[in-house]
């Protein structure tokens, strides 16, 4: 009996020693200047995720948040024995309401307070594409085009050279047909050859259902038919997607409009960047 009690006592003492040692280590870690600075950084740099705003038919895309992985950041900095902001390790936190759970909804923009917008163009006219490309590149602005698949196919080498860097191409009709076959074929045409944006442009319910079937989100931008400069001067809104009708007058006003928006602090970013979660 005494032997058993002795074994139990030794075991308890050993467990207590481990526990006590661990607490001492934890306490010294908490008082380490490196850890204290990491804790301060948590308050300043962590961002809460922003959920999407969903209505009956539409969705404003939310944004992921980020939090600091305290332990990983601490271990990395301990190796160099000093706090270094560049060694902070972040974990992305997805919003609970996301676009991937709402393929049947039409995306009209993103839920943000930042001065960011995206512009898109729907045209099958090569001459218009050239003119728009020139103005966008001149202003270092990104844009997305939605072009009929037949036009892409008939001008494939030109399209390959066009859609890179600032310009991307989304999913639209094939030979003016909007269905499952057109979505699948246009996606195959553009996916491996050009700067590809995995979004459909809304045309009708059949097309929306086809894109939903392939788990592709569909956008429904605000369309600017005329008076481009004045329209955006008076109606600009954070996080919006704007479709600029490809008319001679709109293209003529495009350069001055982009200059104005940039002067007002707006970033004109790609569709993919705007809708990134």
pLDDT tens track of the chain, all 277 residues? Answer: 555 544 444 444 444 444 444 444 444 578 788 888 998 998 889 999 999 999 999 999 999 999 999 999 999 988 998 999 999 999 999 999 999 999 999 999 999 999 999 999 999 998 899 999 999 999 999 999 999 999 999 998 888 888 877 789 999 999 999 999 999 988 888 766 788 899 999 999 999 999 999 999 999 999 999 999 999 999 999 999 999 999 999 999 999 999 999 999 999 999 999 999 8
pTM, two decimals, is 0.82
Q: Are residues 261 and 124 both part of a single domain?
A: yes
Q: Are residues 161 and 260 both part of a single domain?
A: yes
Q: Are residues 47 and 137 both part of a single domain?
A: no
Predicted pLDDT of residue 35: 86
Q: Which of 43, 71, 95 is the last residue of a domain?
A: 95
Distance CA 102, CA 129 (A): 32
Q: Are residues 177 and 227 both part of a single domain?
A: yes
Predicted pLDDT of residue 192: 67
User: Would you say residue 91 lies in a domain?
Assistant: yes
Q: Are residues 90 and 111 both part of a single domain?
A: no
Predicted pLDDT of residue 28: 59
Predicted pLDDT of residue 159: 86
Predicted pLDDT of residue 22: 46
Report CA 234 to chain centroid distance, whole Å.
26
**Structural domain boundaries, residue 84:** 2-52+63-95
Domains identified in the chain, total number? 2
Residue that is written with structure tokens 């990104």 in the block: 142
Q: Are residues 131 and 163 both part of a single domain?
A: yes
Q: Are residues 87 and 123 both part of a single domain?
A: no
């Amino acid at each position: 009996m005494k032997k058993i009690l002795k074994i139990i006592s030794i075991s308890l003492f050993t467990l207590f020693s481990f526990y006590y040692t661990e607490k001492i280590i934890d306490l010294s870690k908490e008082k380490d200047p490196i850890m204290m600075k990491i804790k301060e950084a948590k308050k300043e740099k962590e961002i809460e995720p922003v959920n999407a705003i969903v209505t009956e038919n539409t969705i404003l895309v939310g944004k992921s948040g980020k939090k600091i992985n305290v332990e990983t950041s601490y271990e990395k900095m301990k190796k160099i024995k000093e706090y270094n902001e560049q060694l902070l390790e972040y974990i992305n936190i997805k919003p609970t309401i996301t676009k991937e759970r709402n393929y049947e909804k039409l995306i009209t923009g993103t839920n943000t307070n930042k001065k960011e917008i995206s512009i898109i163009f729907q045209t099958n006219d090569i001459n218009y594409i050239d003119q728009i490309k020139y103005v966008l590149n001149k202003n270092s602005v990104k844009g997305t085009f939605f072009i009929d698949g037949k036009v892409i196919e008939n001008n494939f080498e030109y399209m390959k050279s066009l859609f890179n860097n600032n310009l991307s191409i989304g999913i639209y009709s094939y030979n003016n047909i909007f269905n499952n076959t057109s979505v699948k074929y246009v996606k195959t045409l553009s996916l491996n050859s050009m700067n590809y944006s995995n979004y459909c442009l809304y045309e009708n319910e059949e097309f929306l259902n086809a894109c939903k079937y392939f788990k592709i989100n569909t956008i429904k931008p605000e369309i600017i038919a005329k008076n481009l400069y004045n329209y955006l001067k008076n109606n600009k809104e954070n996080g919006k997607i704007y479709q600029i009708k490809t008319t001679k007058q709109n293209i003529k006003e495009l350069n001055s409009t982009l200059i104005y928006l940039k002067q007002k602090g707006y970033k004109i970013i790609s569709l993919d960047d705007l809708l990134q979660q």
